[in-house]
């Protein structure tokens, strides 16, 4: 979660006055429109002030490392900052430093969404339906498979893309993603499965 702005001198004075009048930290936070934890932190230690760490983020990597980092972004688009630093062979930094460095050469983008069914797909399905309209499907097994993952839906994926490169299309789980594949079928109203598909098995009409 992103952090908010620091308390201003006016807000600090307001907190002190409200405390003197007997108000609680929750009441003060509502009055100021601030997070209660921010107000409680100030109450616990009013003399504490945030000091930004010294050193520029841009000097965290050398020009040669920056070049290797840009090549890594081009080779593996939509990757995380940690993976890009590992691909470039650069000593690992904290997440904030990695993102600051990458912002100078790339930006975070979501993959370009592609249509699930194109016009060609729809026409082919309609033609198949007309060709098989009189077929008896009582003895036909209808099957489908699905992949269970811990990384969330495909739409959640996002990563770093260099500024001068177009955003690639979305890569789905069936195109190399991790997870566990399940298969099931149905025939004459009877369910077959579901079964877990062993790794490396290609699900097609020959299996």
> pLDDT (tens digit, 9 = 90+) per residue, 160-195?
777 777 666 665 555 445 567 777 888 777 777 777
Percent of the chain predicted with pLDDT > 90: 1
Within-domain flag for 21: yes
In 10 A of CB 14, how many CB atoms? Answer: 15
Using 50, 70 and 90 to split pLDDT, how confident is the model at 34? confident
> How far does CA 108 lie from the centroid of its chain?
10
Q: Is residue 122 part of a domain?
A: no
17 is a domain residue? yes
- Is residue 161 in a domain? no
pTM: 0.43
Assess whether pLDDT exceeds 50 at residue 205. Answer: no
Mean pLDDT, the chain, rounded, equals: 77
68 part of a folded domain: yes
Mean pLDDT, range 127-136, rounded to an integer: 85
What is the distance of C-alpha 50 from the center of its chain? 30
| DSSP character at residue 101 | H
pLDDT greater at residue 112 or residue 39: 39
* Separation between Cα atoms, residue 46 and residue 167, nearest integer Å: 47
Q: Are strands 159-162 and 106-109 parallel, antiparallel or unpaired?
A: antiparallel
Same domain, 39 and 75: no
207 part of a folded domain? no
Co-location of 6 and 36 in the same domain: yes
98 occurs within a structural domain: yes
Read off the pLDDT of residues 76-85 as tens digits, 9 standing for 90 and up: 887 888 888 8
**Residue 51 within any structural domain of the chain:** yes
Does residue 71 register a pLDDT over 70?
yes
pLDDT tier at 65, thresholds 50, 70, 90: confident
Full domain range(s) for residue 182: 135-154+175-199
């Amino acid at each position: 979660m992103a952090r908010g702005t620091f308390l201003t001198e006016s807000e600090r004075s307001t907190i002190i006055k409200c405390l003197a009048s007997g108000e609680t930290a929750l009441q003060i936070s509502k009055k100021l429109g601030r997070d209660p934890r921010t107000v409680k932190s100030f109450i616990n230690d009013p003399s504490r002030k945030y000091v930004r760490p010294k050193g520029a983020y841009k000097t965290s990597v050398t020009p040669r490392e920056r070049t290797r980092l840009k090549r890594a972004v081009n080779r593996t688009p939509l990757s995380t900052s940690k993976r890009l630093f590992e691909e470039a062979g650069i000593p690992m930094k904290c997440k904030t430093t990695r993102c600051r460095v990458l912002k100078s050469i790339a930006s975070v983008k979501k993959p370009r969404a592609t249509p699930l069914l194109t016009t060609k797909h729809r026409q082919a399905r309609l033609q198949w339906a007309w060709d098989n309209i009189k077929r008896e499907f009582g003895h036909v097994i209808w099957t489908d498979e699905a992949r269970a993952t811990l990384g969330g839906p495909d739409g959640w994926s996002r990563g770093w893309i260099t500024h001068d490169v177009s955003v690639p299309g979305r890569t789905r789980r069936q195109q190399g993603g991790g997870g566990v594949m399940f298969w099931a079928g149905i025939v004459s109203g009877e369910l077959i499965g579901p079964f877990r598909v062993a790794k490396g098995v290609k699900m097609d009409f020959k299996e």
